[in-house]
Every structure is written in C-alpha cells, then in structure tokens.
Amino acid sequence: MPFGYHGRWLEVDLQTASAQEHELSKEVLCQYIGGVGLGVWLMLQLEAWRWAALEPEAPLALVFSPLVSSPLTTSAKFAVVGRSPLTNRINDSLASSTFALVGKQTGYDALVLRGAARELSLVVVEPQGVQVIPVPELAGCSCEQTQAEVRRRLGPEFAVLAVGPAGERGIAFATLSHQGRHAGRGGSGAVLGAKGVKALAVRGQQRVRWARPKVLTQLARKLAQLAQGPQTAKYRQLGTLANMAVFNRLGLLPAENFQKGSSPAATALSVEQLQPQTLQVRESCQVCNIGCDHRYTLQEDQPGVRLEYESAYALGPLCGISDPQTVLWAARFCDHWGLDTISTGATVAFAMECVQRGWLKEPWLQFGRPEALRRALELMVRRQGVGELLALGTRAMAEQLGPEALAIAPQVKGLELPGYELRRLPAAALAMAVATRGADHNRTSAYEVDFSPQPPENDNELVQRLIWHEDRAAVMDSLILCKFLRGVFEDFFASASEMLWATTGWHFTAGGLHQVARRIITARKLFNILCGWQPQEDTLPERFFTQGTSTAGPLSRQRFERLKRLYYLQRGWTPEGWIPWQQLEHLGLAQFGLLCTQEAETSEPLGS
C-alpha cells in the first residue's frame, strides 16, 4: 500500500447491491494525485462519456486524496466527479468535513456508484461490505433531516452524504450535502437522485501511513500558522460576503440577470451592513482553522443561515432583491432542499428577464419582488407550473424559449455564471469560457489576474498567468486543499511538493506538478471531446458581446477570440481547441484518445 493512499477504489453496483474492489497503481496516483484529478481518470477509465448524466449506468465518483486525514489544515475534503446533467460534460465539485475523513477510513481512495437502486435507498459502505437499504420513508426529507435520521438509525460513527428533495426530483442543479456543506455545482445531486440513492453512509477505521510523519507535523504546524495570517483575514473576519460592497462599488456585481453591473440591493446585503446586525456565529469545517463559515440570523429561535457571496449575489441583486431576510430565507431554502444557490438564483433571474421581455407569460415573476422569488423557488422544487421549466436550468429552459432567450441565458456550457461582471474582467471571462465544467470561478480564480496590482503587459502574459492559476487550481483540487489558502504560499508548487513528499514519499518538482496539472486539465478536455464537445461551446452568453451595462461596455469579440486562440496554443492544443495526438501521448492519455477515434471510425488525429 503506497503511503497516503489505500491503493484501491470500490465500485458499487446499486442494482445488484454488490461491490467490486479495483487496484490503483502507483503510476496512476502519481499522475493524477487524487480529488478531481483521480476523478477524471476514473471517468475516462470507466468510459463514462457513453451515458447521459442521469442514465443509471452513468458512474458517479466520490474521491478522496492523499492529504485527507493528515493534520494539514483544510485537507478534510472530497471531490464528486461525474457527468453533469446541466452541461452534459465533465463535472467536479468539492465538499468538506467529516465525510472525507470517514470515507477514506473505509479503506478506499474512491467510491464509485453505478446502476440504480430499485427504490429510494440508503447505501452503506463499510470495510466489511456494502448494503443498499430501501428507505422510501425518507422521500421528501431535507438534507439535514436525512443525515440526522440516518445517523440515528446507524449510529453516530457514520458520516452521511445526502440529497434533498431537489435531487430526488431530478432538478438539474441539485446538490449533495454533508454537514451543511454542499458539493454544489453541476447537479451531482440529480445524478445520485436518478440512481435512487437518498443518502450514502460511510464508516471505517482503516488508516493510511504517512511517508514522513514528523515532517508532516511540522508542515501542518506551519500551514496552520499561515492560515491565521493576513492572507486569510478576509475569510476569517468577514467571509466571502465581503465581495458584495466592493464588487458593487467597482461595477462588477451582476444585477437583474446581467443587465446591470451594480445594484442598490448591495448595500443592505453587504457584510458591512449585515454583520453588525445579524451575524450569529462563525464556524469551521473539520480540520480547518480558518473558519470562513459566517451564519446570519433569519429567526431568533433557529440556527443561523450560511451566506456566501455567491449565494447572496444570485438570490439577491441578480434577481433585483435587496431584502436580507428574503435572501437569507432563499439561502436556507436551497440548503434545505439541496439546490445550488448560484444556479437557482440565476435561473430565476433569467426567467424574470424572459417575463420582462414578454417571452414567458408569468406576470407575477418580476425583478425586485421578494414574493416572486419565494413563489418561484416553491414552484421549482415542486416542479409545478413554470417550476417545471425552472427545474431545467437556464440553457435547457432557453432552448425551449428560442434563440433570443439563449443569447441572454447566464450560462457557459449550461452551467450558470457566478457573480462576476465579465465584461470588465478579460482574464476571468476567458477562463469561464474555456473551463471544462462551464461557467466556473473555482477552477481558475483567473479574476486574480484582473485584480492584480501588476496587470499583464500584453495578452500573451494574460493568458500565461491565467494558465498558471488554472494549473494551481487543478493541483489544489487534487491534493485537496481549500482555495482560501491560495494566498498564503510564497511558492505554491514548492509547498505542494513538500506536502506530497511528507505524505506519499514521492518527489515532485514544481515543473512535475505543473505537468500533473496539465494532464488533469487535458484529461477533462478529452472527456468533454469524447462527450461531443465542439469549439463553439467555449464562449460566453451572446449579450456580453453585444450589450454593455452602465459600468461596462460589451466585450470585444475580436479580442476574446484572439485570447482564446492564445489560450489553446499555450495549452499545447490546436488553435481551435482540439488536442493533438502527440500531446495525448506525452501526457499518457493516448489510450483514451484512441477510443475517441475508434468511436468516430476515423484515423484522423483527435478532433483536428
């Protein structure tokens, strides 16, 4: 067994309630590390592109990493990897806390679910075996209720991952929830729901060995100190909600479905306003000493509501809502039902603009009306009336409404946009257009290039720096470490190498880790190509090129296309974004590329 790993993964067949162990070679682990990296390798290995996201045979992987269960702060994380029902492309999302620790103690580096249970079920994974237990009585239970009930039945030593009613009902942006944290983006909750799984409970005591335990302890101590330093102060003191007032002031806060770049709603929803009045408590994930989780009071007699910037942006200004109580109510509603807050808010905002333009006959669904947001969410989760349309997400909804609607649907590849006014942020705009999982701020943090005190001198440098950020994110999401740590390292790749040496005993140079990142990013791209990716997918909503706001003019399509071409070329791809054979071979991906050409019955290089 390699240090830091168990060296195996478990494939669970839900139809037969059986499981099969598979070995993980050292070569694969070195090449993909864990988390999202190992997850995309599993998806390629299992030929997951063959099935649509909600088909029973589509695999869904829960992937741990070499750092999980180490004392390194923020390392208690796991990745959920599969095909997204929103994008029909690769999806990876992360969540934190006890499930990562206990999940890894089952003795596997990844758990893969395939098939579908005959009725709504609880899946139990322990070292002694797997059970699929029918739980029809849990239908309709919230994420929190489900977790509490499963632990009551099985015991407190179990960690439980659950879908809410949104996942059961196939809402395309349903989440997987654990201890109030969500693997939120891309609709993994709908995938698990389609498999008839209400919850997955894990228990175990199998621990991995560390290659250099004393060094690991020293690194953990140092990292914990750094995590208490000024680079994380914003997250500790304010949480991500700190962005609200700043983005609004800078004209970067998308409002009313990206028709505006600032909003009067921002003042009431700013951390400066909310914190003195309604901050109830601050909490941390397991094995984290940052404590970014700020909860606000909705009702005095109830636990506080988590409110991140992205939730507040999407459920607030994007829908024209300024009432904090409505936004807190909506955030709690999403937590309870298991809904991605960004996609939820963006979908409602998009529908509001469709009403405004007369494309949707729901006159009550107006920007700025708290009761409209509440009613829309209730209809969405019940899939009643217009809720049936809302449950699809913006792209699928726009496809039903017509090409004009598609031009204003706030999405890339079907995934709804996070809270950045991209017409003012060229690096972030490019990063979101080319991101393999769709509109995505977490797989690059390329906005840091746009916000940098040392702006890029030219477009080549902009792309170079974007790629560096993308590489760093791929490694962080595979180790896995929280991105809130990203500012604390003097040299992230050197620090990551040290952590990997202490946990696994493997020597990675910084260049070697960049190569791992390139492999992971190219593997995701390859997966998308196998799913049918076409170059025109790597773009932004048409309105960004044709309409400005009061704070930004439209993006230059010419510059955007030039940046995209530069990005592809710097990634070693063709100018149109395909992957040359020699790069697949260089990165050890040729075996999967070969499958692609065999499928296409062509001997031409992949996509060229």
Per CB under 8 A, 230 contacts another protein: yes
Compute φ and ψ for 81, nearest 5 degrees. -130, 135
Per CB under 8 A, 580 contacts another protein: no
Count CB neighbours of 209 within 10 A.
12
Half-sphere exposure of 601 (CA within 13 A, CB side): 0
> Rounded to whole angstroms, how far apart are CA atoms 132 and 415?
32
- Beta carbon of residue 558, minimum distance to another protein (angstroms, whole number): 22
Per CB under 8 A, 484 contacts another protein: yes
Q: 308-347 mask for another protein (x: CB under 8 A)?
A: xxx-------------------------------------
7's torsion region: left (phi>0), alpha (psi -120 to 50) or beta? left
3-state secondary structure of 64: coil
- Beta carbon of residue 77, minimum distance to another protein (angstroms, whole number): 12
Q: 269-288 mask for another protein (x: CB under 8 A)?
A: --xx--xx------------
- Beta carbon of residue 455, minimum distance to another protein (angstroms, whole number): 8
Determine which residue in the list 30, 133, 215, 250 makes contact with another protein, applying CB under 8 A: 250
Per CB under 8 A, 229 contacts another protein: yes
Q: Which of 571, 566, 574, 575 is nearest to 461 (CA)?
A: 566
- Closer residue to another protein (CB): 154 or 312: 312
Compute φ and ψ for 79, nearest 5 degrees. -110, 145
601's torsion region: left (phi>0), alpha (psi -120 to 50) or beta? left
Per CB under 8 A, 249 contacts another protein: yes
Q: Which of 352, 258, 265 is nearest to 550 (CA)?
A: 258
Per CB under 8 A, 93 contacts another protein: no
583's torsion region: left (phi>0), alpha (psi -120 to 50) or beta? alpha
Task: Give, as ranges, the residues between 34 and 63 that touch another protein (CB under 8 A).
Answer: none
Per CB under 8 A, 490 contacts another protein: no
Per CB under 8 A, 242 contacts another protein: yes
- Closer residue to another protein (CB): 245 or 510: 245
Task: Give, as ranges, the residues between 400 and 429 that touch another protein (CB under 8 A).
Answer: 418-419
- Closer residue to another protein (CB): 206 or 267: 267
Per CB under 8 A, 246 contacts another protein: yes
Q: Which of 80, 77, 116, 83 is nearest to 97 (CA)?
A: 77
451 to 252, 302, 529: CA distances (angstroms): 11, 38, 32
CA dihedral 371, 375, 381, 386 (to 10 degrees): -140
Determine which residue in the list 151, 222, 486, 557 makes contact with another protein, applying CB under 8 A: 486
- Beta carbon of residue 591, minimum distance to another protein (angstroms, whole number): 34
Piece of 24-32, 139-147, 171-179, 229-237 that binds another protein (CB under 8 A):
229-237
> Rounded to whole angstroms, how far apart are CA atoms 192 and 62?
11
Contact 476, 520 (CB under 8 A): no
- Beta carbon of residue 179, minimum distance to another protein (angstroms, whole number): 18
Per CB under 8 A, 228 contacts another protein: no
- Closer residue to another protein (CB): 251 or 535: 251
Per CB under 8 A, 156 contacts another protein: no
Q: 176-215 mask for another protein (x: CB under 8 A)?
A: ----------------------------------------
Contact 495, 533 (CB under 8 A): no
Contact 288, 73 (CB under 8 A): yes
- Beta carbon of residue 188, minimum distance to another protein (angstroms, whole number): 18
Piece of 188-196, 237-245, 505-513, 559-567 that binds another protein (CB under 8 A):
237-245
The secondary structure of residue 137, as a DSSP letter, is G
Task: Give, as ranges, the residues between 441 and 480 that touch another protein (CB under 8 A).
Answer: 441-442, 445, 447-448, 451-453, 455
Per CB under 8 A, 78 contacts another protein: no
- Long-range Cβ pairs for the range 307-310 (8 Å, 24+): 307/239, 307/241, 307/274, 307/331, 308/239, 308/240, 308/241, 308/341, 309/239, 309/240, 309/241, 309/242, 309/243, 309/244, 309/247, 309/419, 310/240, 310/341, 310/342, 310/418, 310/419
Contact 453, 434 (CB under 8 A): no
Using CB under 8 A as the criterion, which residues of the chain lie in contact with another protein when the complex forms? 229-235, 237-238, 240, 242-243, 245-246, 249-251, 271-272, 275-276, 308-310, 418-419, 441-442, 445, 447-448, 451-453, 455, 482-484, 486-487
